Amino acid sequence: MTQLTTIEASFLEAEDADRHVSMAIGAVAVIDGPLPGRDELISALSQRLGAVPRLTQLVHKHALEVAAPEWVDDSNFDITHHLRWAAVPRPGDDPALFRTVADIMERRLDRDHPLWECWVIEGLPEARWAILIKIHHCIADGIAAMHMLADVFDSGAGTTFATEIRAAKEEPAPKATSSPLRLNPLSWPGLLWRTSQTAANIVSQTTRGATQFTLNLLTPAAGSSLHGSVANMRRYSAARVSLKDVKTISQVFGVTLNDVALAAMTDSFRAVLIHRGEKPQRNSLRTLVPVSVRPPDAMDRTDIRVSAMLPYLPVEQGDPVKRLRLVHARLNTLKESGERQAASTFVKVSSYVPFMLSAWTIRLLARLPQRSVVTLATNVPGPRQRLQLLGRPVEMLLPVPPIAMHLRTVVSMLSYADELAFGITADYDATPDVDELARGIELGVARLLARALAHKRPAAKRIEA
């Protein structure tokens, strides 16, 4: 039996602390082509999903939580318990699909069985249908869940944006040569000095980052309708933009793709606040931005490996380009401050705390009305190639994040082939304008693209002259 890590178990504890919360993450694949026969689909999904060990295991919790929960094999595992069918109401358009997705995701997974479901959704127009994979967050983070989802399809995960990004960042492996300590004893003092200085710098940066991260968690954001208690029901919506357009904006203004995505999201939150009659302030939108610390050789492992940053996204800035540059600057400041490393250190240190104390602390924090974090924005790099299921092309992939801890709206981003999708989950009562939030993201990218193209044209004219 394998124990859950503290961060994995924390998603179970957060769910236990609030009866209105379901900590399942999901992804929707809309597929073009006739729906296969039920027997054919069950056979294919059984073979592909049943091969993932975590999907055939239960969570076993100890009495009084004297130790962390453990993964145990389900001796009565039956995959047909996890395969479900649903139909969207007419006319079967995107709003109808999104309502069905929200209805499915708001219900908790049954802990008497392995913590996942696979829903086949019928009733979409133009001979299309969808699959919704629903997995408890204690099983996997976004990248691991994306690999699990990709394994459902004909070609598997293949090359993803995550593997490409990680490979580009990896330093070349050192050559197998003799240690300098053995080769030249005269170099020992200098080597030891440089090593000690490097270690001291890392410790100093992490300490500063830990201090800043803690202060951010303790400092409340400006009061707004964006955070507060949540009820049982959910709303879901999605935005889709061209990845080529996002790359163009990134290249013209010298920022990252994630900066562009966050700036478009910020634009939309600003518009929503104004429409609600609230003034966007500098401290209105502190956002939890998870950062993957998953090494290249662990992309397909079902576990959770994340750190985090807590930037204020600049909803107070009305100009799209200035807003983009502010997003870039604030994220860079946090990266240099050591906040990301500090958050990762917190996660590692938590594994040494007695689980009973960790569980009690998590449940207490989940019950408290935290006011420091307003939303969460996670970016999951998806497959670069178009996928197929039983020979039928996957038209789009949409992420579905959970909401909890007084976050009424959460955004997840997922790249797929030539597209970047934003999945938005929101509290049903507090966020009736979730579709406007999705449209605002698309409009935010369009505004930045228009400015980027206008920025390029004068340069092109100078070259022609």
Beta bridge pairs of residue 28:
132, 398
Residues forming the active site: 137
| Beta carbons of 143 and 383 less than 8 angstroms apart | no
How many residues are given for the chain?
465
- Among all chains, which residue has been given the structure tokens 């690999």? 147
What is the Cα Rg of the chain in Å? 23
The string of DSSP letters for 436-448 reads HHHHHHHHHHHHH
Residue 303's closest CA among 86, 101, 11?
11
Alpha carbons 250 and 264: distance in angstroms, whole number: 12
- For 263, list phi and psi in degrees, rounded to 5: -65, -40
- Among all chains, which residue has been given the structure tokens 């133009």? 126
Strand order in the sheet with 2-3: 2-3, 70-73, 57-60
The string of DSSP letters for 60-86 reads EPPGGG-S--EEEE-TT--GGGTEEEE
Amino acid code (one letter) for 380: V
Strand blocks (E) in 263-326: 287-292, 306-309
Beta bridge pairs of residue 3:
70
Q: Distance between alpha carbon 51 and the CA centroid of its chain, in Å?
A: 24
